[in-house]
Chains A and B, each alone.
Chain A
Amino acid sequence: MDKILRIDMGAAGGPKMKVEDLGQYAGLGGRALTSAMIAAEVEPTANPLGAENKLVIAPGLLSGTVAAMSGRISVGCKSPLTGGIKEANSGGQAAQVLAKLGYAAIVLEGLAPEGKLYKILINKDGVKIEPADEYKMLPNYDLIDKIKGVYGDKVTCMSIGPAGEMKLSASSIAITDMEFRPTRHAGRGGVGAVMGAKGVKVIIMDDAGLKNREPKDPEKFREANKKWVEGLRSHAVTGQALPAYGTNVLVNIINESGGFPTRNFKTGQFEGASAISGETFADIETKRGGNPTHGCHRGCVIQCSGTYVDKNGKFVSKQPEYETTWAHGANCGIDDPDTIAMLDFLDDNYGLDTIDMGAAIGIAMEAGIIKFGDKEGAINLIKEIGKGTYLGKIIGSGAAIAAKVFGVERAPVVKGQAMPAYDPRAIQGIGVTYATSTMGADHTAGYCIATNILKCGGFVDPLKSEGQIELSRNLQIATAAIDSTGMCLFIAFAILDQPETFQALVDMLNAFYGLSLDADGVAALGKKVLSAERDFNKKAGFTAAHDRLPRYFYTDKLPPHNKVFEVTDKELDSVFNW
């Protein structure tokens, strides 16, 4: 991982590539690298879909090694959804494969001429860029089928669906999993639209004939990885709950806590929660011959994912994540797993962020375009996007735009990005993260649910404002560092509770790169990432006024606890004071 591949998609005479040394970016990976590059190379006021923006794709520092859980990839750009810096993080096979191919980053630059579409092929022999007009407007699953016919199923793809080609601001980049299905998505912030603007339909990567990356100190690395895996296996969440039920195990507990946003964030409990819970999904998958325990990439030992099949045992989609189940379920008043799985498939197929899609449909329901609970109606709305109708384009642009067009003022968004599956009035800590994250409303940026609800890393009362600033600050710093390693964020449950497991991670980094990082060094990395991102956003025009929740979260009480968001503006403005 000692080179950077830059492709100017707008070069005269067709795309032009060059391979560079790491230079000023040496020692960076994942989010640290994407954010450093965007901050250094993209004009903050640039048009996100213009020639000045760049799309940076970077595996983490430990990707491509035997380190368990190290297969997460970061996709960075200036976001067409938020207007700020973006890092969308995803699983799938791409991080491992790209790292083994030796690239710390792929950078797509410039602007493809209108109507041109390309595919990029990368293998051990080099890089080829070819026209891909035959793939125009193909949904992701159809695209991957075609690619399979030509390149086999041992390659890995990053692709956009019709939503990305139409440059919709909630479009995603799909990444294939171990079964060569486009089920994993860099979902948030419209990264697919930026890839679409660059005229790249798909990046096909082949690591055939390549070995894992070798650590500086193999002995110490092996030892640390062993402790790492042991730590993950012995923790109750990463060793048992996540493998058995997936992230969807949260439905019941978040519903119980009164923070499960229902029908466009009107109440905090959904009467249909049990029908869409992780327990129910696991049951259905087991009975129908699906699979409730499955990893999204080689080397995942937690395996939170699964495979959802229909009554006849036929593949429908991956096991929908908690966020998706909530977005298309409770938030739309829908309590049917089959409908949710179908919506998950359609989102993946057209290349859309499931969170912003569920939120946008919730808005359409509030506007009376369809009724809450209308399963067919929800499916049809997503299909409209696939057809490229004006209604579809509005939904595909995400909740903030849909709310404006449909005249709905209660839009659960921050910096233009839809809130995920936790109401900040009942879980105040996550509200701090939503408000202040450089990414817009994003739960992963500082997952206060761990400590507010799940009692990981201690306990801070979710219904009170005390302690939330510090909690969110510390988690945002830690997350920025973890997102740079290539590690899946779900390791956080184990490292928050088990100091020796955190140490094993630090030891792996040290053994791999010959460093002597300690906990402070890890925190310093996280702060550096956040500072670069904050700085970019400031120059892009963001002020303290953007670090707020929509007004109704301060005025409209959320049943059953009848709380509003109570963290003060002054407190919010202190999150990044370190």
Chain B
Amino acid sequence: MKAKIKLFATLRNGRFDVAEMDLAEGTTILNITEQLEIEKKDAAILFINGVHAELDSLIREGDDVAIFPPVGGG
């Protein structure tokens, strides 16, 4: 299955901004961050299709996955 993976802020360094990935059924966000060598603490805020997700959330066909490090502002 295919899903779109988006990285932000410092997570982009040495990786990518956005990539279309071919994933096996049952892939979680954690599988992706491990594959990309992103430490757990650096994958602080996660969204699937604009809704907050967890590291163990399952990714489905066509999902839009966003991974942010800890950020703040206001």
Q: Which chain A residues have a beta carbon within 8 Å of chain B's beta carbons?
A: 235-238, 240-242, 244-250, 252-253, 256-258, 269, 278-279, 304, 322-323, 443-444, 447, 449-450, 453-456, 459, 461-463, 489-490, 493, 560-561
Contact of B71 among A241, A258, A461 (CB under 8 A): A241
Interface size class of B (residues with CB under 8 A): 20 to 34
Instruction: Report yes or no: B12 in contact with A236, Cβ–Cβ below 8 A.
Output: no
- Report the nearest B residue to A453, measured CB to CB: B45
B72 → chain A closest CB, angstroms = 4
* A460 to B33 Cα, complex, angstroms: 24
* A323 to B73 Cα, complex, angstroms: 9
Q: Which chain B residues have a beta carbon within 8 Å of chain A's beta carbons?
A: 6, 8-10, 12, 41, 44-45, 47, 50-52, 66, 68-74
Instruction: Report yes or no: A279 in contact with B9, Cβ–Cβ below 8 A.
Output: yes
Contact of A242 among B12, B68, B72 (CB under 8 A): B72
B45 → chain A closest CB, angstroms = 6
B35 → chain A closest CB, angstroms = 21
Contact status of A245 and B47, CB under 8 A, knowing A449-B74, A461-B52, A490-B72: no
- 21 A-B pairs whose Cβ atoms sit less than 8 Å apart in the complex: A235-B70, A236-B41, A236-B44, A237-B70, A238-B72, A240-B70, A241-B10, A241-B69, A245-B9, A249-B73, A252-B66, A253-B68, A253-B71, A256-B6, A256-B66, A279-B9, A304-B73, A322-B74, A453-B45, A454-B45, A561-B51
* A454 to B51 Cα, complex, angstroms: 13
Instruction: Report yes or no: A236 in contact with B50, Cβ–Cβ below 8 A.
Output: no
Q: Please, which residues of chain A bring their CB within 8 A of the CB of B41?
A: 236
A89 → chain B closest CB, angstroms = 12
Instruction: Report yes or no: B50 in contact with A489, Cβ–Cβ below 8 A.
Output: no
B64 → chain A closest CB, angstroms = 9
Instruction: Report yes or no: A256 in contact with B47, Cβ–Cβ below 8 A.
Output: yes
Main secondary structure of the interface of A (DSSP, over half): helix
Instruction: Report yes or no: B52 in contact with A247, Cβ–Cβ below 8 A.
Output: no
Instruction: Report yes or no: B45 in contact with A279, Cβ–Cβ below 8 A.
Output: no
Instruction: Report yes or no: A237 in contact with B74, Cβ–Cβ below 8 A.
Output: no
Main secondary structure of the interface of B (DSSP, over half): mixed
* A250 to B50 Cα, complex, angstroms: 14
Instruction: Report yes or no: B50 in contact with A253, Cβ–Cβ below 8 A.
Output: no
Instruction: Report yes or no: A241 in contact with B72, Cβ–Cβ below 8 A.
Output: yes
Q: Please, which residues of chain B bring their CB within 8 A of the CB of A455?
A: 44-45, 70
The list of the 7 closest CB pairs from A to B, nearest first, reads A247-B73, A236-B70, A237-B72, A250-B73, A241-B71, A493-B72, A258-B50
Instruction: Report yes or no: B74 in contact with A247, Cβ–Cβ below 8 A.
Output: yes
Contact status of A490 and B74, CB under 8 A, knowing A236-B44, A560-B50: yes
A9 → chain B closest CB, angstroms = 34
B18 → chain A closest CB, angstroms = 9
Q: Please, which residues of chain A bring their CB within 8 A of the CB of B12?
A: 279
- Report the nearest A residue to B8, measured CB to CB: A252
Interface contacts beyond A241-B10, A242-B73: sample of 8 additional A-B pairs, CB < 8 Å, sorted by A: A236-B69, A240-B10, A241-B71, A247-B73, A249-B71, A250-B74, A447-B74, A450-B72
* A278 to B69 Cα, complex, angstroms: 14
B11 → chain A closest CB, angstroms = 10
Q: Please, which residues of chain B bring their CB within 8 A of the CB of A240?
A: 10, 69-70
A132 → chain B closest CB, angstroms = 35
Instruction: Report yes or no: B52 in contact with A561, Cβ–Cβ below 8 A.
Output: no
Instruction: Report yes or no: A279 in contact with B74, Cβ–Cβ below 8 A.
Output: no
* A462 to B45 Cα, complex, angstroms: 13
* A322 to B71 Cα, complex, angstroms: 13
Contact status of A246 and B45, CB under 8 A, knowing A240-B10, A241-B9: no
Instruction: Report yes or no: B73 in contact with A444, Cβ–Cβ below 8 A.
Output: no
Q: Please, which residues of chain B bring their CB within 8 A of the CB of A443?
A: 74
Q: Please, which residues of chain B bring their CB within 8 A of the CB of A462?
A: 52
Q: Please, which residues of chain B bring their CB within 8 A of the CB of A257?
A: 47, 50, 52
Instruction: Report yes or no: B50 in contact with A454, Cβ–Cβ below 8 A.
Output: no
Instruction: Report yes or no: B74 in contact with A463, Cβ–Cβ below 8 A.
Output: no
* A443 to B10 Cα, complex, angstroms: 26
- Report the nearest B residue to A252, measured CB to CB: B8
Instruction: Report yes or no: A322 in contact with B50, Cβ–Cβ below 8 A.
Output: no
* A455 to B54 Cα, complex, angstroms: 12
* A561 to B41 Cα, complex, angstroms: 28
- Report the nearest B residue to A420, measured CB to CB: B74
